[in-house]
Amino acid sequence: MSPSENVCRIMKPKIPQLRSRTVEQLTDLLSRIDLDELMKKDEPPFTFPKTLEEFEYAFNENGQLRHIKTQEPFIFNVREDLHRWNQKRYEALGEVITQHVYELLETKCNMTKAILPLDATMDEPSSFIYLSPNALSNPSKLLVLIQGSGVVRAGQWARRLIINQDLDSGTQIPFITRAMEEGYSVMVLNPNENFLEVEKPPKSSPTEPSEEPVEKKERRDDREGKKRKEFYEKYRNPQKETETEQIPIRENSSSEEHVLYVWDHVVSKAAAKNVFIVAHSYGGLSFVELHCCNWVSSPEPLDTPLDSMLPDCPRVSAGTERHELTSWMSFDSIFRFFCEVLKVKEDEEEMSTNIVSTRSSALKSKHQDL
């Protein structure tokens, strides 16, 4: 035998033996898997608390959400290996937060609900807005607040800010209290409440005939395989989403419809001769063509002039690059802008009154001379 043949023989792997060993190891591993224990690591049910107390969270004196026992901020990844469950838990907390903000609007801000459509019957889906006590009767100033799109509801700017930062930055409450202190009446719109979501009734399974069809008997051998497949599908995705259907709210089935309806049926009926609007993100699209100022996310200092998209709507920096913070960071600047606009309008009205008065006096004097 040549040296080269000897080398080749030494280096040649024993593939059948390796394969056999791998199969044996895999078989041994599978035999030691406890399927009952495996299923204990399955996804927990989507049943979550209905109140902040049940979630074991509360807002402290600074409006920050903290765990009642540990005083820690909200933790999203309670279960590191279950992202979908964590997300559902976060959404459930968001629904509780929405109800909490509604309570604050009613208790802290003394606002009341107005059901929409205004002529809604008891049997049809409906939405609502919030009104201050003098929302329709204040003859001077009315402030209308409109949030952006998404899951936020009346009184909220950004759910993420409410949960992870504080109530002041994430809700409209500071705007409402400041406006009331300065003599405004207030309307809080609710443009994302567009439909009633109801659960679809379960589909009735067809009844099987008393005698099993021949085709079904022929497939009996692979039933165990199908059951095994269903088992692993359940482990991979143990809970299926509940099927729902959406029933639109009449004349309020979209954000645009809602804003238009409130403008035509509520705002236009108010006594205030000066209407001011604070609209965040998508909520501002209906009003950008009016005399306005647009605070946008930017690294520049607050109120730094930026290039305008529209000639009659100046754009200035909100002093933050975080979109959801633009309304809160512009808080003082917004009310200064309102004061400036109102002062200009009052000066124009005074000037117009003086001109009319001067002309009237001149005509009266001329009449007396005659």
Contact status, residue 165 vs residue 298, Cβ threshold 8 Å = no
Instruction: Give catalytic status of residue 281 as yes or no.
Output: yes
What's the rounded Cα separation, in Å, for the pair 270 and 266?
Answer: 7
Look up tokens 């299926």; give the residue. 240
Q: Is the pLDDT of residue 244 over 90?
A: no
Alpha helices in 182-248 (DSSP H): 214-218, 223-236
- Across the beta sheet with 274-279, the strand order is 112-116, 127-131, 184-188, 141-146, 274-279
Who contacts 355 (Cβ-Cβ below 8 Å, separation ≥6)? none
Q: Which residue has the higher pLDDT, 260 or 350?
A: 260
Q: What CA dihedral angle connects 97, 98, 100 and 102, to 10 degrees?
A: 170
0.85 exceeded by pTM: no
d(CA 266, CA 178): 22
Tell me the C-alpha distance between 176 and 189, whole Å.
12
Q: Is 307 helix (H, G, I), strand (E, B) or coil?
A: strand
Q: Say if residue 168's pLDDT is above 60.
A: yes
Torsion 153-158-160-163 (CA) sign: negative
Q: Please report which confidence band the pLDDT of residue 286 belongs to, taking 50, 70 and 90 as the band edges.
A: low
pLDDT in the model for residue 238: 53
What digits encode the pLDDT tens for the residues 93-123? 999 999 999 999 999 999 999 999 999 999 9
Q: Catalytic: which of 132, 185, 255, 281?
A: 281
In tens, the pLDDT along 16-70 reads: 555 666 767 666 666 665 554 454 456 778 889 999 999 999 999 999 999 999 9
Q: Is the pLDDT of residue 215 over 80?
A: no
Q: Does the CA dihedral 264-255-310-159 come out positive or negative?
A: positive
Residue 295, helix vs strand vs coil: strand
Higher pLDDT, 4 or 243: 243
pLDDT at 64: 97
Which of 369, 159, 116 is closest to 262 using CA atoms?
Answer: 116
Structure tokens at 204: 């009735």
d(CA 245, CA 219): 36
* Least confident interval from 79-83, 121-125, 151-155, 261-265: 79-83
Angle at the Cα of 192 from the Cα atoms of 187 and 193, rounded to 5 degrees: 85
- pLDDT recorded at residue 155: 97
Under 8 Å between Cβ of 342 and 274: yes
Report the pLDDT value the prediction gives residue 99, as an integer from 0 to 100. Answer: 96
Report in angstroms the alpha-carbon separations of 321 from 26, 130, 294, 297, 303. 54, 30, 14, 5, 13
